[in-house]
Amino acid sequence: MADPLRSEKALHEVQVSLQELEEVLMRIVGGLDIHRQQITFDWVDLDTGEAKRGRITPADRVGFRKWLGQFDGEVEVVLEGCTGWRFVTEECGAAGVKVHVADPAEVAARRSSKRRAKTDRIDAHQLRQLLEKGEVPESWIPPHVVLEVRERVRLYLDLLADKAAWQQRIHATPVPARGAEGRGQAADRRPGGTRPR
């Protein structure tokens, strides 16, 4: 009778070897440093050794989608989980690009100890190197349902803030002073048109 532990171990070895094969098939790896105005990229084609660096400006969906259109085959990118990560991951997912979102604090801790200016180009290069080594400190990417619930909660809170602002404006609006004829007009508007005595 076969030992069940040995068969599980063999199955695990097969799964690990399949993962290694998948990693070998990876063609293009890249690092993205995202800012409001621009996205700095650093990528390398592992088959040909071709490497490119540059910027995508403006940092919007259309420009980023156009930039992604240049790639054929398997592409894998890494970016820090900061402002703008969501639209980049959505566009990459739509283009079939595998995305890793790195924890910014962990990436900063792994930065080299050399004293030099930190630039977007260096950040993108460092992210790409972490991806090539398989050392990306992954952040959790919430499922689409969770992201939608978050958006609804944010919208609800924005609407509550707007409601409070309008209530304060209405409350702060001065009421015009009414003279003797003003009181009479108010009485005429009462049901039955009677005036108080």
* Residues 52 and 106 reside in one and the same domain: yes
Would you say the pTM of this structure is higher than 0.75? Answer: no
What is the domain extent for residue 91? 24-141
* Residues 153 and 68 reside in one and the same domain: no
Question: pLDDT for 62-100, tens place per residue?
Answer: 988 898 888 878 899 999 888 878 888 888 888 889 999
Three-state DSSP state, 55:
strand
Average predicted confidence (pLDDT) for the chain:
79
* Residues 38 and 74 reside in one and the same domain: yes
Chain centroid, CA 153 distance in Å: 17
Predicted pLDDT of residue 81: 85
Number of folded domains in the chain? 2
Predicted pLDDT of residue 6: 52
Q: To which residue do tokens 């650093």 refer?
A: 42
* Residues 79 and 132 reside in one and the same domain: yes
104: CATH: 3.30.420.10
Report how far residue 32's alpha carbon sits from residue 54's, in angstroms, rounded to the nearest whole number: 10
100 forms bridges with which residues in the sheet? 78
H or E element, residue 13: helix 4-25
- 139 — pLDDT class (breaks 50, 70, 90): confident
Structural contact between residues 82 and 34, judged by C-beta atoms closer than 8 angstroms: yes
Question: pLDDT for 18-30, tens place per residue?
Answer: 444 444 444 889 9
Report how far residue 184's alpha carbon sits from residue 178's, in angstroms, rounded to the nearest whole number: 10
